[in-house]
Structures are given as structure tokens and as C-alpha cells.
Amino acid sequence: MEKVPDLHKTEELSAIAVDYCPEVCQHFPEQREISVTFDERGGARWRSTRRFSSGTFSAKIKTPSGNTSGLNSSFYLSTLEGPRDQDEIDFEFLGKDKGTVQTNFYTHGTGGREVIHDLGFDSSQEFHEYTIKWEPDRIEWLVDGKSIRVAEKKKKKVNEGLWAGPYIGCDVPYVCVYKDVFVPCH
């Protein structure tokens, strides 16, 4: 009998790569924390140094405080950046409303599946856990262990998503902190 891999078994993320603006991204492995600052230098993108084909991914996130209209902090999975036909699964925190989060997924470069979720709290006040369970035929998004969305293969869930709003920038610098990031085991 062939053993089926446990897609939900995770381990702490120990190493990251920073694709641009490394001076605004700090990784503190001992504290299990990654901090990204957005200011006049711009923001940064950090990522795992490994590739995955499915599994459970989670992070405790506290989004930037202040007037963050126009900013988009996110926790997402994607194929290689750049190609127009990339796949992506994400949580996006749209700066104009810290009480909501947008979920979305792209397949072969096609999105348009945005859904806005009311969190019931201000995402900049304290850490909350955001989880993506990615299986071959199903994606589930959870906040603090509670399922907020499920997308099954071949089903389309479309919502007219509103983007982050106009950038104001009056409270620069903005800092988004990720803590206790977990990725699938090898």
C-alpha cells in the first residue's frame, strides 16, 4: 500500500530570499520573524528558498498601522515571478480598510476571482494567523483557524474586487511583520 503524503504537515520556515530592496526586509530566525518596511525606498518581496507543489502554508501577520491607503501587504504563493501565465494563491491586505482581507487565485495568469472578507478586527492591532491549504483539487483560506473560503477545482468564484485605494503616504514608514511562518515539510 502506497503511503499518501500528509499535505497539512508543516515546519517552520528557516531561510528566505529577498528579491528586491533587501535593505527594507529583515529576517530574525531566532524570533521567527520577518519585517518589511515600506518608505521612500519602496517595499520588498521575500520568499522561501524552496519550491512546493501543494501543502499547508501559514503565517501570523500584523499589517502596517497608520493611514495605509494605497498599500498592499500580502501573503501569497506563486509560480516564478514574471511570466504572464503564472499561478498564484493569496491573502491581500488592502490598505484602505484594515478590517478586511482579499483572497484570490490565478491559474495560467487568469485571476478575477477576488473575494473581500470582513475580518471582524483591525489587522494592524495584533498578530492573527492566516493559512492557505493548497491541495491538488482544492484551496482553502483560513483566518485564526476558521475557514473563510474554499475553492474547488473547476468552480469559479468571482467577485468584483476593489484594489487598495489611492496612496496617501502621510504615515511613512509602514511596517508589516510576519511571524511564525510555516511551510510544508519536505
Positions annotated as catalytic residues are 88, 92
Task: Give the other-Cβ count within 10 Å of 125's Cβ.
Answer: 11
Instruction: State how far the alpha carbon of 159 is from the alpha carbons of 111, 115, 117, 153, in Å.
Output: 11, 5, 11, 17
| Residue in the block written with cell 504572464 | 84
Whether 110 and 101 have beta carbons less than 8 Å apart is answered as no
Separation between Cα atoms, residue 114 and residue 106, nearest integer Å: 10
- For residues 65 and 156, give the distance between their C-alpha atoms in angstroms, rounded to a whole number: 33
Strands 55-62, 128-135: parallel, antiparallel or unpaired by DSSP?
A: antiparallel
**2 to 5, 185: CA distances (angstroms):** 9, 18
Q: Are 160 and 114 in contact (CB under 8 A)?
A: yes
Q: In this structure, which amino acid lies at residue 11? A: E
Question: Is the previous residue joined to 173 through a cis bond, with omega within 30 degrees of 0?
Answer: yes
